[in-house]
Structure 1
Amino acid sequence: MQLTMHRRQAAGFSLIEALITMVVVGVGLLGLAKIQAAAVGNTQISRVRSLVALQTESLAAAMHGNRAFWAAGGTAPATFSVAGQTVTDSSNVLNQTLAPGQCLTGSPCTPQQLAAYDVQQWASTMNGNFPGYGATVNCTTTVGVPVNCNITVTWNEKYIAVNTPTASAAAAAAPTTQQSFTVYVQP
């Protein structure tokens, strides 16, 4: 008689054991989803940082390509800033208005006009890729000394808050942090 009772208890899982298993598997899947969301967010962040670095290097390359303006010592502005498509230059060299097609077709272009064209095209590209960015370029412009410039680009970066315990309307707008990237250039 005891033998039959023992067989009946070992016959299979109970409903509660199956439910506990489903809860454990569900929590595991939620953890995997959270890890996947963090990976996607970090991929986006690294993409933006790489593009900022590439775009900053493109301005440095344009400065190297126009040594008549940037490396002359005294002709390049000591500092200028860029926000959106607006170039702010106290010497009014880099923010001058160029005629459409100037510096592109066979029309001659002075080193000052080429520098203005390069900076304005760079600003337009940056604004298209990173709305709300800002850039500051500081150069040493002592005559007889090689020109050195620091290009600093700042932008707001959105990230996924994976450690937030609850979702709220305020958290729905992804948290942002300001980042910066600086390059030293000697045209």
Structure 2
Amino acid sequence: MHSNRQYWGNTPPDTVTVTATAITSTDGALQTQATNDLTGPSKPTIVCIGTAGGGALCNPVQLAAFDLARWGVSLAALLPNPTATIRCPPTPGGGPASCTVQIAWIEQAVSVNQQEAAATVNQTLCDNNNKPLFQCPSYMVYVEP
């Protein structure tokens, strides 16, 4: 976010959700580009990487999408079934953007009895309705791009 202030510092999208297989956003252009980067044949590897002293290879939306796609791939490699949500609510009076980034994932659990086994089977989503206490840790950070 800090390295692409042209996108995130102006009018960032209200919400962006990143998983290992999809990226959704309230900014349609960002969502389309990020999804293409994530699922395209090149898998976000070198699409927007420039060289020292070279000109920009991507516009701000393309760079934000590229960064989100690379970040999603990295999260999936590090955490089990991760979901990252970036929220940048509109600021009153045109103040600087402020965002929260929350990453949640599902820890693997071992059941010691039949009741725990029933509660932990097929956990693929951490939300308010389906959240075992220790299986869905999360991390949140506040960012001012």
> Offset of 1:138 from its aligned partner?
0.6
> Offset of 1:160 from its aligned partner?
6.1
Normalising to structure 2: TM-score of the pair? 0.66
Structure 1 Cα separation of the partners of residues 74 and 30 of structure 2: 16
> Offset of 1:80 from its aligned partner?
1.1
Q: Does 1:93 align with 2:38?
A: no
Which of 7, 11, 20 pairs up with 1:84?
20
Equivalent residues in 2 for 1:1-187 (5 A)? Answer: 63-72=1-10, 74=11, 76-95=12-31, 96=33, 97-98=36-37, 100=42, 101-105=46-50, 108-142=57-91, 144-158=94-108, 170=117, 177-187=135-145
Letter in 2 for 1:120: A
In terms of Rg, which structure is larger?
1
Letter in 2 for 1:119: L
Structure 1 vs Structure 2 CA RMSD: 2.9
% same residue: 34
| Residue segments in structure 1 that go unaligned for 5+ positions in a row | 1-62
Q: State the SS of the aligned residue for 1:93.
A: helix
The answer to which of 123-132 and 109-118 deviates more is: 123-132
> Offset of 1:159 from its aligned partner?
5.1
Structure 1 Cα separation of the partners of residues 136 and 47 of structure 2: 36
Normalising to structure 1: TM-score of the pair? 0.53
> Offset of 1:149 from its aligned partner?
0.4
Structure 1 Cα separation of the partners of residues 19 and 105 of structure 2: 10
**After superposition, what is the alpha-carbon deviation per residue over 1:80-132, rounded to whole angstroms, capped at 9, x for unaligned?**
11122311113223331358433124662111111111011000111122231
Q: State the SS of the aligned residue for 1:140.
A: coil
Number of equivalent positions? 117
Structure 2 Cα separation of the partners of residues 109 and 88 of structure 1: 20
Whose helix proportion is higher, 1 or 2? 1
Q: Is the 8 A contact 1:135 1:154 kept in 2?
A: yes
| Residue segments in structure 2 that go unaligned for 5+ positions in a row | 122-131
